[in-house]
Structure formats: structure tokens, C-alpha cells
Amino acid sequence: MEDIANVIELKDVSKDYGDFKLDDVSFSVPEGSVCGFIGQNGAGKTTTIQIILDAINRDSGEVYVFGKSMDKDSALLRENIGVVFDEMGFHDFLNARQINTIMKNVYKNWNQERYFEYLKLFSLPTKKACGSFSRGMRMKLQIATALSHNAKLLIMDEPTSGLDPIVRNEMLQIFREYVVEEDHTILLSSHITGDLEKLADEVVFIDGGKIVLKGNKDEILEKHGILRCKKDELKNISESLLVSAETSSLGAEVLVNDRKAAEKLYPEMIIEPAELEQIMIYYVNRAKGQKTSERQGDL
């Protein structure tokens, strides 16, 4: 496959359901990277992934995968995409051997030997109906399938949700090894930001159907900070730096969008690095505050 800068590219993608709208979503996923697609449940992550995979129609915008339009080449492009969803897509009565037989007729590049190697690695039974599998076993079966047809891109929707920490860590290690091989690429949707801090190179944050933040994960973490001050000092914080604030009887905590600038302006205040989860929460709270203000303005 020819070298390209971005494996996934979305331009002004919209989908209106009436009670929810995916609103002019634009972002790209560089080749050879892990992109963490974060946001609370209902933010639009799954809808966006379904549009990327051409599983649902979009109202407007453009989607390119491997530099080609999904409108024209979706069937061909799917050959190079491995998919792992929150819910298993296999019938409960199928076992791993039967799934292998089905996949051989679905993918031209299906690698039976690799598939059974993954089953062995994951300690998955081959003759037991997958409907009796635990959640962790079901996710491992999906991952074994996704990684066994020479896919260059892995798209996953909440693959580690509900798994215990040991299994989650095992999954993350498998994803790391996959990306190291041949510049493979991952788009991983999750609300478990701790996993993405360990794994992701890029981060795209969606809330209420809109992209709130996107870019290199380390740069986003380096840029933001948690500032702690007294409640009466909150009014002194520059609005251009303040994302949102939380107050309590002990004082105030503020997410600032430029930690170095805040350190220069407020040297007497405590400013600490922010985690991805904190960044997500404060941006969501800001959006909630804006919506509240808009509603009050309409009254």
C-alpha cells in the first residue's frame, strides 16, 4: 500500500438525528500512530466510527481512509481494516473454529495460522460456543479476529470497557506490539483516559457531537494545568487562560489552557500537571455552563 500521511481523515462530517447532532467533525489520524478518541458516553464517538466504516450514512462532509474516499472504495478498504466493538458481532452459538471458517470466506488475506496462534495466546477454547464467554474472552476473540487478516488499521470502540485491570493491561500490550509492526495504525475510542495516557500518540476529544480538542497527547498534557487558589482569587484569573473552575469550601481548582503562561502570571499559586481525565471533565463542565447560560438567556 502506498505511503500516506493520514490513514483516516474526516472533513466537516455531520449527522443530524434530531435529538443529537454530529456537528462538522474534522480530524485526522497519522499513519503509524495510536489515536485516542475520547469523550463521555453519548458524545458521538460510536456515531463517528460508524460513519468512518460506512455503516451509516452521513448528512454532509467527507471521509477518507488510506487516502481514498469511503464513498467509492468502502468494500476494498474494509479488507485492510480490523474492527473491535463494545458488543461482540458473532452469533452466540458459534465457536472459534466455526468463526475461522467464516472469516476465510470473508477476507482474502485471512491468516488461519495467526488466528489460532492468538487463540492460544489468549487461552481461548476453540470448540466452546462464544456466547458462554466472559466479557474479557469476547473482547479477546474479537481482537484475535481483527488482527488475523493483515489489517493495516485497527478501529476499536470501547475495547477495554468493563475489563479488569489485568486483562486491560494485557490488551494494551497487544495494541502496542501491533502498532510497532509495519507502521500499523489504531483509532481507539474510549472513556477510560488512563489507558489512553499509556498508549495514545494523538488525542481527539469530542463532546456533544463537536470536537473540543485535538492534537498530540503529550503536547496537550504539557499545555494544560490545574491551578489551585482561594475562591476570592478566582476573579483574578485571566479568562483567556481559564477553561472552567470548580469551587468548594477549601477553595477553587481551575483548568488553565496554558500552564507556562499561568505560572508566569501567578507565581504564588500552585499549578500542577493535568491528567487527560481532568482535562475532559473540565471541558465538559465548561460546555454545560455555556448551555446553562444560553438557556437562561432565552428565559
Among 168, 201, 219, residue at a domain's last position: 219
pTM of the predicted model as reported, rounded to 2 decimal places: 0.88
Amino acid at 63: V
Same domain, 293 and 205: no
Half-sphere exposure at residue 297, Cβ-oriented, CA atoms within 13 angstroms: 6
C-alpha–C-alpha distance, residues 71 and 62, integer Å: 9
Residue 154 within a domain = yes
On whether residue 162 sits in a domain, the answer given is yes
Helix or strand run (H / E) with residue 25: strand 21-30
Segment (H or E) for 227: strand 225-229
Report yes or no on 264 lying in a domain.
Answer: yes
Structural domains in the chain (count): 2
Which secondary-structure segment (H or E) carries 165?
helix 165-180
- Same domain for 47 and 176: yes
User: Domain check: are 191 and 236 in the same one?
Assistant: no
Closest-CA residue to 52 (of 36, 31, 69, 38): 69
Q: Please check whether residues 182 and 251 belong to one and the same domain.
A: no
The partner residues of 21 in beta bridges, in order of sequence, read 16
Cell of 40: 463521555
Look at residue 290 in the predicted model and tell me its pLDDT: 58
Q: Are 214 and 242 within one domain?
A: no
User: Which of the 8 DSSP states describes residue 241?
Assistant: T
Angle separating helix axes 135-146 and 112-121, nearest 10 degrees: 150
Does residue 164 sit in the same domain as residue 287?
no
How far is residue 114's CA from residue 42's CA, in Å, rounded to a whole number? 35
Range of the domain at 268: 222-298
Q: Does 1 map to a domain? A: no
Q: Are residues 10 and 157 in the same domain?
A: yes
Same domain, 212 and 281: no
Residues 93 and 169 in one domain: yes
| Residue 226 is assigned to a structural domain of this protein | yes
Residue where a domain stops, chosen among 169, 191, 219: 219
Q: Are residues 102 and 25 in the same domain?
A: yes
- Largest Cα–Cα distance in the chain? 68
Last residue of a domain, one of 204, 219, 234: 219
Distance CA 270, CA 291 (A): 30
Q: Are residues 241 and 151 part of one domain?
A: no
Say yes or no: 208 and 239 in one domain: no
pLDDT tens-place values along the chain, 299 residues long: 445 689 999 999 999 999 999 999 999 999 999 999 998 888 999 999 999 998 899 999 999 999 988 777 667 677 889 998 877 778 999 999 999 999 999 898 999 999 999 999 889 999 999 999 988 888 889 989 999 998 999 999 888 877 788 888 888 888 888 888 777 999 999 878 888 898 999 999 999 999 999 999 999 999 999 999 999 999 999 999 999 999 998 899 999 999 999 999 999 999 999 999 999 999 999 877 655 334 334 43
In a domain, 183, yes or no: yes
